[in-house]
Amino acid sequence: MWLDAEGLPIKANSTTPALNVAGQQIPESTMTVHYSDWGKPVQINVPPADQAQEKQQ
């Protein structure tokens, strides 16, 4: 993970090793996430009830 001068994340890398799931070989995968616009306002739209589920515990 890379942090900026204020200690906020700006980039993160993650690697998932190769897996065998139900007899199927899944190759290693790598993901890179870039973060930006810290502190800027965001708009979050709640989905309609028929498109959401309650969290299962």
d(CA 20, CA 17): 10
Confidence of residue 53 (pLDDT cuts 50, 70, 90): confident
Whole-model pTM over 0.75:
no
Give residue-wise pLDDT tens across range 5-52. Answer: 999 999 999 999 999 999 999 999 999 999 999 999 999 999 999 998
Which residues touch 20 (CB under 8 Å, ≥6 apart)?
26
DSSP state of 47: P
